[in-house]
Amino acid sequence: MRFLLAPEQRAFADSLDAMLTAADTPSVVRAWGRGAPMSGRALWSRIAEAGVFALAVPEAYEGMGPRPVELAVAFVELGRHAVPGPLVETVAAATLLTELAARDDTGPAKRLLPALASGASTATLALPPTPVPYALDADVADVRLAVSPAPEVPADPADAPAPAHATGATGAPQSATAAELRLAPPPGPPRPSLDPARRLSPLASGGELLATGPHVTAAAARALTTARLVTAAQALGVGLALLDRTVAYVKQRTQFGVPIGSFQAVKHQLADAELALEFARPLVLGAAVTMTGRDVAAAKVTACEAAYATARTALQLHGAIGYTAEYDLSLWLTRARALRTAWGSPDTCRAAVLSATAARP
Amino acid sequence: MDLPPMDLDFTPDEEAFRAGARAWLSTHVPSAPLPSLETEEGFAAHRAWEAELAADRWSVVNWPAAYGGRDSGIVRWLIFEEEYYAAGAPGRVGQNGVSLLAPTLFEHGTEEQRARVLPPMATGEVVWAQAWSEPEAGSDLASLRSRAVRTDGGWLLSGQKTWSSRAAFADRAFGLFRSDPDVPKPHQGLTYVMFDLRAPGVTVRPIPRLDGKPAFAELFLDEVFVPDQDVIGEPGQGWRVAMATAGNERGLTLRSPGRFLAAADRLFALWRAQGSPAGARDRVADALIGARAHQLFTYAAASRHLDGASLGPESSLNKVFWSEYDIALTETALDLLGDEGESMDTEWAERYVFALAGPIYAGTNEIQRDIIAERLLGLPKGRR
């Protein structure tokens, strides 16, 4: 047992942090939300060059994954800088294609994965009607994937052993209707999100059929697990950024002649935020190590609730300035709210923890 | 990028250790729960259990073999704790000595002190109480006024200590006394002393806690003689010596993840036995998740410790977490019991009463939040 990031992993996080700090992500986020994705696409390329998307893609398809721990490390940094775009969805799509290939259906992987690894393509993914009815940023994504019907959420094949290549075993519950993976046609106008940088599109039915059968259900369940993990990591990064910004603010904001950060009522709210985030962190990294549905669901609900609670504290301690769209804090505040329900609400994740606990030997 | 993996697996040797602990516990853990350790009868029963553990070297696995341990290291200690509480084994009557005094002796004691004090602590022959708080010195512990006055070959202790856990039935106690009243700062001039609760001049007045059991006591000291050999560290350096203890108490060793993993599993079983009521669903899930979070947080701390890092103020995070977690878990259990929830006859009632004290002892959670805010987040000091 050694539950500690290696120096190389910490250096990877630090280099991403430095790159994203220099990238002035707040202006990128705002442009993305206005429907001007140029700067976001440029940033996407740099994130890809750093190897982030390749972490979700096997070497056979020009990646260097799957590496869930490094993915989690990277997504903490992406969240810390509120990077916009279908980041989770691209990694989830890559996982879906990888898992299809692991079940002897290599066509879609050969066709799509190398461009996802290199950053040449962005992807989005929906599992309609639940648990993921909308595809994030489908209006700008190059690859729009839809799986229907989606895997049943509580019966989580991610807890089953990985499929053997030779047998093509699915590890998935048999569904009455064979699941289909399709390349969805261009979407209609996106629905606005509470987070102005997120653009939600229902995917139209139809489109090219890429794969069908029970292995699609199994692969989609794996994609869902990966999406939950990196959403949790992203939320953790969002929460850490909110805490950092708020700590800095209460040190310099003075009232009654002293920094408001010297008041116990302020300190204890921030101590609680730190507590929530620092207990979410090992759940996120532990889930990346085990990749069980139980650990991933636990990480998702805990990291997202910690980030959201930190957002509430950040807003309260900033006062009215934090309530304005103009102030950059808003980018993280609204992101924390959106991630909380994306890829599995708190209720859904708690249900997954309970059903996995009941199924334990 | 070829990175060494993080790893939550245990080695074959560690798994063998786990199997050995599990096998021993399966044949030794009492089939019926012992009486409450906060009663005279229960205290004696728990003391006998410590002797049974010690006879096969299971009472203090992480101590050196010379004092009754197995030199297990921290990872095996964590494994032992998981097995211990999963087996439903009794609470540990020697916890104060083992978790608070022993680490202080390992860090600041003499070899003579360790050889004399630790073996009977390991067997439960000598059970230790703590003597920190005073009527006018609680969270502001450094304002304590009990005195240690120099005399031939030792010190004379006088004053009053209170909220002394286990002191109603324990044998000896350890705490801080003011040996030099003429120092400019309250943290100076304190001396860390071990003393006999049955020595001439000591009066122990048990204090009934909420459920009426004498879980702690007031200590009245009137010129109680303590030989020099029972001072730990240098006279006047007691604060520094004691803070090593406080760091341990809040850090890894006072509440192991095994306790909460086992408690969460029992809560889950209770929830299912009651028909999985929807109203408690979220809280049961959060108990399971919190136990896993505490386990992984502790594994991370243990890994940092093995890497040579010392436990810092992040132990305050741990203390707030487990003390609030324990209350939430036991409250949920009582709620699930419905009409039985107020009965003292369930396994949960005493656990709940015990949990209620968690946010108060070992440094109140308000003090811990101050530490988190000031030392981890760097916020300015202000009026408490």
Verify whether the Cβ–Cβ distance B303 to A251 is below 8 Å. no
pLDDT at position B247, please?
57
**Token reading at A215:** 């292995």
From B8, B75, B379, residue closest to A290, measured CB to CB: B8
Model confidence at B347, pLDDT cuts 50, 70, 90, reads confident
**Token reading at B196:** 């006999």
| Residue B13 CB neighbours (<10 A) | 9
* Interface mutation target, options B289, B294, B322, chain A, most CBs of A under 10 Å: B289
pLDDT at position A349, please?
97
Q: Which CATH superfamily is domain B251-376 in?
A: Butyryl-CoA Dehydrogenase, subunit A, domain 3 (1.20.140.10)
- Residue limits of CATH 2.40.110.10 in chain B: 128-241
pLDDT in tens, chain A (361 residues): 999 999 999 999 999 999 999 999 999 999 999 999 999 999 999 999 999 999 999 999 999 989 999 999 999 999 999 999 999 999 999 999 999 999 999 999 999 999 999 999 999 999 988 788 899 999 999 999 999 887 765 444 444 444 433 333 334 444 457 899 999 999 988 999 999 999 999 888 899 999 999 999 999 999 999 999 999 999 999 999 999 999 999 999 999 999 999 999 999 999 999 999 999 999 999 999 999 999 999 999 999 999 999 999 999 999 999 999 999 999 999 999 999 999 999 999 999 999 999 998 8
Residue B310 phi, psi dihedral angles, 5° rounding: -95, 155
Residue-averaged pLDDT of chain B: 94
List chain A domain ranges: 224-358
User: Which residues lie across from B218 on neighbouring strands?
Assistant: B205
Work out the end-to-end distance of chain B between its first and last CA atoms, rounded to an integer number of angstroms. 49
**Token reading at A246:** 């708020």
pLDDT at position A313, please?
98
- Residue limits of CATH 1.20.140.10 in chain B: 251-376
How confident is the model over B275-315, as pLDDT tens digits? 999 999 999 999 999 999 999 999 999 998 888 887 778 88
Question: In this structure, are residues B252 and B301 in contact, taking their beta carbons and an 8 Å threshold?
Answer: yes
If you average pLDDT over each of A270-284, B231-245, B311-325, B335-349, which comes out highest? A270-284
- A6 contacts on B by Cβ (under 8 Å): 3-4, 6
Q: CA of A35 to nearest chain B CA: how many angstroms apart?
A: 35
User: Which residues lie across from B95 on neighbouring strands?
Assistant: none
Closest CA to A55 of A116, A137, A108: A116
Check B249, B347, B350, B374 and give the catalytic one. Answer: B249
Verify whether the Cβ–Cβ distance B289 to A247 is below 8 Å. no
Q: CA of B62 to nearest chain A CA: how many angstroms apart?
A: 17
- DSSP β-ladder status, A123-126 and A180-183: unpaired
Task: Give all strands (DSSP E) within A55-179, no chain letters.
Answer: 123-126, 134-136, 143-148
Domain A224-358 has CATH 1.20.140.10: yes
pLDDT at position A196, please?
94
Topology classification of domain B128-241: Butyryl-CoA Dehydrogenase, subunit A; domain 2 (2.40.110)
Give, as one character, the DSSP assignment of residue A187: P
Residue linked to tokens 């429907």? A35
pLDDT at position A121, please?
97
How confident is the model over B145-179, as pLDDT tens digits? 999 999 999 999 999 999 999 999 999 999 999 99
Written as one string, the DSSP assignment of A200-222 is EEEPPS--EEEEESHHHHHHHHH
Phi/psi-derived region of residue A319, left when phi > 0, alpha when psi is between -120 and 50, beta in every other case = left
pLDDT at position A158, please?
46
Q: What is the dihedral of CA A169, A173, A175, A178, to 10 degrees?
A: -30
From B294, B296, B379, residue closest to A3, measured CB to CB: B296
Least confident of A13-27, A315-329, B68-82, B243-257: B243-257
pLDDT at position B249, please?
47
Q: Which of residues 63-92 of A touch B (CB under 8 A)?
A: 64, 67, 69-70
| Calpha distance A276→A239 (Å, rounded) | 9
Residue linked to tokens 């044949």? B27
pLDDT at position B244, please?
74
Q: What is the dihedral of CA B293, B296, B302, B308, to 10 degrees?
A: -100
SS3 category, B383: coil
**Token reading at B125:** 């022959």
Q: What is the dihedral of CA B1, B2, B4, B8, to 10 degrees?
A: 80
SS3 category, A53: helix
Task: Give me the amino acid identity at B372.
Answer: I
Q: Which of residues 254-283 of A touch B (CB under 8 A)?
A: 258-259, 261-264, 266-268, 270-272, 274-275, 278-280, 282-283
| Calpha distance A353→B358 (Å, rounded) | 27
What residue in A sits closest to B298 (Cα-Cα)? A282
Q: Quick check: A168 contacting B, CB < 8 Å? A: no
Residue B251 pLDDT exceeds 90 = no
pLDDT at position B243, please?
83
| Calpha distance B220→B85 (Å, rounded) | 36
pLDDT at position A156, please?
46
**Known active-site residue B15:** no
| Calpha distance B237→A104 (Å, rounded) | 70
Looking at chain B, the whole-number percentage of residues with pLDDT higher than 90 is: 86
Work out the end-to-end distance of chain A between its first and last CA atoms, rounded to an integer number of angstroms. 22
* Interface mutation target, options A55, A247, A357, A360, chain B, most CBs of B under 10 Å: A357
| Residue A291 CB neighbours (<10 A) | 18
pLDDT at position B346, please?
86
Cβ-Cβ contacts under 8 Å for B12 (sequence gap 6 or more): none
